[in-house]
Amino acid sequence: MKLAEEQLQAPPEGLHALEEAFAHFSRQTAQLKEAYRKLEQRAEQVNLELEAANCELARKVQELDEAYNFQHSILESIPIAVVVTDLDGTVRALNPAAEDMWAVRRQETLGRHFQTVMESSHTLLAGVLAGSRRLECQRRELGGPEAKVISSTACLVANSAGQPIGAVQLDRDITALCALQQELYEQGKLADLGKMAAGLAHEIRKPLNGIKGFASILQRKPDDDAKRRRYVANIMGAADRLNGLLGRLLDFARPEGLHLTTFDLRAAAEQIAEFVRVETRSDSARIHVQIPEKARWVSADPDKIKQVLLNLIQNGVEALQGPGTVRVVASVRQQGGQKRVRVQVRDTGKGISSEQAGMIMEPFYTSKENGTGLGLPIVHRILQLHCTPLEIDSKPGRGTTMSFLLPLAEGPEEA
What tens digit of pLDDT does each residue of 145-197 get? Answer: 556 788 888 888 888 888 888 888 888 888 777 777 777 776 676 666 666 66
For domain 76-173, give the CATH number: 3.30.450.20
Yes or no: domain 261-407 corresponds to CATH 3.30.565.10: yes
Reported as a single tens digit per residue, the pLDDT across 159-171 is 888 888 888 888 8
Which percentage of the chain shows pLDDT scores above 90?
11
Task: Tell me the CATH number for domain 178-253.
Answer: 1.10.287
Determine the longest span between alpha carbons in the chain, in angstroms: 198
Of 10-24, 156-170, 190-204, 249-263, the range with the highest mean pLDDT is 156-170
**Whole-number Cα distances in Å, 115 to 28, 141, 242, 246:** 78, 16, 61, 58
Amino acid identity of residue 174, one-letter, is I
Which strands form 81-86's sheet, in the order they lie side by side?
91-94, 81-86, 164-173, 148-158, 134-141
What are the sequence ranges of the domains in the chain?
A: 76-173, 178-253, 261-407
pLDDT in tens, 275-307: 888 777 667 788 899 999 999 999 999 988 998
DSSP 113: B
CA distance 125 to 83: 9
Residue 298's CB is within 10 A of a number of other CB atoms, namely 27
Q: Counting beta carbons within 10 angstroms of the beta carbon of residue 45, is it exposed (0 to 12), middle (13 to 18) or buried (19 or more)?
A: exposed
- Give 392: exposed, middle or buried? Use CB within 10 Å, 0-12, 13-18, 19+: middle
Question: Tell me, what's the pLDDT at 415?
Answer: 42
Q: Would you call 339 helix, strand, or coil by DSSP?
A: strand
**Alpha carbon distance 279, 249 (integer Å):** 22
With CA atoms as reference, report the closest residue to 175 among 96, 79, 99: 79
Q: How many other C-beta atoms lie within 10 A of the C-beta of residue 75?
A: 17
Quick check: 45 pLDDT over 60? yes
Spacing of C-alpha 367 from chain mean position: 32
Residue 91 near residue 85, CB atoms below 8 Å: yes
Q: How confident is the model at residue 140 (pLDDT cuts 50, 70, 90)?
A: low
Report DSSP letters for 40-94, one per residue.
HHHHHHHHHHHHHHHHHHHHHHHHHHHHHHHHHHHHHH-SSEEEEEETT-BEEEE
Burial of 7 (0-12, 13-18, 19+ CB in 10 A): exposed
Angle of helix 375-385 versus helix 226-253 axis, rounded to 10: 30
pLDDT exceeding 70 applies to what percent of the chain?
72
CB 240 within 8 A of CB 285: no
Predicted model pTM: 0.51
Q: What is the pLDDT of residue 129?
A: 85
Averaged pLDDT score across all residues of the chain? 79
Backbone phi and psi for residue 329, each to the nearest 5 degrees, phi listed first: -120, 145
